[in-house]
Structure 1
Amino acid sequence: MTAVEPQLPVDDALEVGTTATTAVKGRSRVPWRFLGGRAAFYLFTLWAAITINFFLPRLMRGDAVDQYLARNRTVTPEAADALRALLGLDTDKSLWQQYLDYWALLLRGDLGISLLHGLRPVTEVIGQALPWTVGLVGFATIVSFAIGTVGGAIVGWRRGSRAEVLIPITTFLSTIPYFWLGLLAIALFSVNLGWFPIGKAYGVGISPEFSIEFIGQVIHHGTLPAVTIIIASLGGWMLGMRNMMLTVLDEDYITVAQAKGMPNRRVLWRYAARNAVLPQIQSFALSIGFIVGGTIVMEMVFSYPGVGKLLLDATNAKDYALMQGVFLVITLSVLVANILADVAYAFLDPRTRQTEA
């Protein structure tokens, strides 16, 4: 008789064949080459951004002192020279020396002082505006991403159903210029109906403090701009997720899962949506990074005291230190967001870990 060879355990085709569940067996080694390459890339990007951040404002005509003198003609020439020396704009130093001094101050955490805000430190000025932008734009971005991704997955799963009418509606709303959408929202809900205030972050006469009244004022004033941001950005997330779902649903492992009788909910969220969401991660990371920059148009329409409006005011006043500080914060936020996106992508897609290892 022929000896029967023992049967080796066969892995489930679904667990092996999907992009999101393929496991790297064996002892994985640390991908030092990949980590070193990514670290070098991000460090070079940071250096380039800071260098451009320094030289670009100085290519503009005039400076912050000239703008200040135009508004205050009683300032003496000696005081103007002292202001230029204080801001690092004195012509006694070469541009290269100013660049080196800028790096020295930057490494010490000194972003300079803002002439536009009464010689206050730039870190203090940005620190006051940053929570408003992160709280409003960050909340709206996360909500729009979550609703758009989940909605796009459901619409893609139920292709050909009535739910697909959401795609042209949300896409149409996303094509409307944001300032126009914001003005329409103000005219309808603030002027005509009186449900929400026209602008500002809180009411007149209310002092910022941790109290129920102040929190209620912030929520009341921030609801309309937040909803406007969600409506304006929802179409892109939903359309992108729906298109990726249509691609993933044609894969073999989805057919195998359905043939094995798996519940539709498990196939949808465990296999289809988990793979379809991967391309959305990078876009979401960029959106998270640009949250710090805020939405300048939104903050101008609703008179919201965020970083976007702060950057616009600094640009008009040619306040170099404040412009550089805001650009630096935006750059760092984008880089950190991309790093987190790389980590999240590698976690969600084991093929990335296998290739890097």
Structure 2
Amino acid sequence: MSRLSFILRRLGRSVFTIWFAVTVTFLLLRLLPGDPALAIASPNMTDDARAALLTQYGLDKPLIAQYGIYLFELVRGNFGTSFTQSIPVMNVLLQRLPWTLLLTFTALLLTVLVGIPLGVLAASKKGRFIDKFVQIVGVTGQSIFVPSIGVLLLFVFGLNLRWLPIGGAYDTNAYGMAWYGSVISHLILPAVSLMLIQLGSYVLTMRSTLIEALGEDYVTLARANGLPYRRILWKHALRNALLPTTTLIGLQLGFLVGGAVLTETVFAYPGIGRGIYEAVTQLDFPVLQGAFLLLAVTVVVANMLTDIVYGFLDPRVKTS
């Protein structure tokens, strides 16, 4: 299979996945209890005014017609208008997106920087106390519910020790360099919460793949040639062990985004996740649809890029 056809197949699969996610989201939101008309219609409105408002938002049409209009507008780049804020959904999302990107990629960077060295350490000390301790920490991290970590960190470092702020993204009275400092201080707890949840997968994956790589013939040959163990570990074995970790980054991004939704709610962080929580309570369908679509596209694109990168790193993938 040529590289071009490999990329085109991944692209076509990604487009289908995004369409499926859009369709499922559209239908599931219509199953939510409550009447979305209550979010946009005032109790004091006359019947004619209420009917005109519902017509304006297309809520008076059959479900299949609403779906068709929604897809048509999406193709044109129109995400609709927020029921509660009366502004384009794209504006609502663009206000919140930078905060979610900052939180997500900070957590991802911390996870990679901490997880890979811990996995290497555990693999190099296989069977020893440090190896068993790292495995216990990894499994424990995978089994903890995201809000539980957030609440624990809030209680310890925010309420008891008062080292870090307990909510928001910055101090409203901070300006200049002080504002950037407040952004970092508000980012620490939610980013660490997300990092701790994801850390176990990276540590355990890196440990197992590196142990397997250390048992390969080329490692045995390198040892026989007298190469230092540290050089064999970090330069030769680690290079091959990183391939599954590269795939894991793309696969775990979906879990990271889902965790960001819960984490932003716990820490009142003004990102997409917090916006989803507020939109659910207000039955703001357009904002929910736009937020879910944006998150779905982010995850699908990340996975597609991971597949493509992995295909270039390991030619066997393209022929599988």
Per the alignment, residue 304 of structure 1 pairs with: 269
Cα distance in 1 between the residues matched to 2:58 and 2:171: 38
Q: Is 1:219 aligned to residue 187 of structure 2?
A: no
Cα distance in 2 between the residues matched to 1:146 and 1:286: 17
Per the alignment, residue 35 of structure 1 pairs with: 7
Instruction: Write the letter of the residue equivalent to 1:199.
Output: G
Cα distance in 2 between the residues matched to 1:32 and 1:302: 44
Q: Is 1:136 aligned to residue 103 of structure 2?
A: yes
The runs of at least 4 aligned residues of structure 1 exceeding 4 Å deviation read 289-294
Q: Is 1:171 aligned to residue 136 of structure 2?
A: no
Q: Is 1:85 aligned to residue 50 of structure 2?
A: no
Cα distance in 2 between the residues matched to 1:253 and 1:193: 51
> C-alpha displacement at 1:111, in angstroms?
0.2
Per the alignment, residue 73 of structure 1 pairs with: 43
* Residue aligned with 1:113, SS: coil
Equivalent residues of 2:36, 2:283 under 8 A apart: yes
The aligned runs of 1:210-289 (5 Å cut-off) are: 211-289=176-254
Per the alignment, residue 54 of structure 1 pairs with: 26
Instruction: Write the letter of the residue equivalent to 1:266.
Output: R
Cα distance in 1 between the residues matched to 2:4 and 2:134: 45
> C-alpha displacement at 1:280, in angstroms?
2.2
Q: Is 1:185 aligned to residue 150 of structure 2?
A: no
Worse-matched range after superposition: 139-148 or 41-50: 41-50
Cα distance in 1 between the residues matched to 2:190 and 2:274: 14
> C-alpha displacement at 1:175, in angstroms?
2.8
Cα distance in 2 between the residues matched to 1:65 and 1:136: 34
Unaligned runs of 5+ residues in structure 2 are none
Cα distance in 2 between the residues matched to 1:283 and 1:240: 8
Instruction: Write the letter of the residue equivalent to 2:309.
Output: A
Cα distance in 2 between the residues matched to 1:124 and 1:171: 40
Cα distance in 1 between the residues matched to 2:75 and 2:256: 24
Change (3 A) 1:160 1:243: same
Residue of 273, 290, 297 corresponding to 1:332:
297
The aligned runs of 1:93-132 (5 Å cut-off) are: 94-116=62-84, 118-132=85-99
Q: Is 1:155 aligned to residue 122 of structure 2?
A: yes
Q: Which has the higher helix share?
A: 2
Instruction: Write the letter of the residue equivalent to 2:47.
Output: P
Instruction: Write the letter of the residue equivalent to 2:125.
Output: R
Cα distance in 2 between the residues matched to 1:336 and 1:267: 34
* Residue aligned with 1:56, SS: helix
Measured against aligned partners, the alpha-carbon deviations of 1:62-85 in whole angstroms (never above 9, x if no partner) come to 44222444xx42233333223222
Equivalent residues of 1:129, 1:307 under 8 A apart: yes
Residue of 16, 39, 42 corresponding to 1:44:
16
Cα distance in 1 between the residues matched to 2:87 and 2:262: 26
* Residue aligned with 2:79, SS: coil
* Residue aligned with 1:201, SS: coil
Instruction: Write the letter of the residue equivalent to 2:123.
Output: G
Equivalent residues of 2:202, 2:248 under 8 A apart: no
* Residue aligned with 1:277, SS: helix
Equivalent residues of 1:138, 1:291 under 8 A apart: no
Q: Is 1:198 aligned to residue 163 of structure 2?
A: no
- What TM-score comes out, normalization by structure 1 length? 0.81
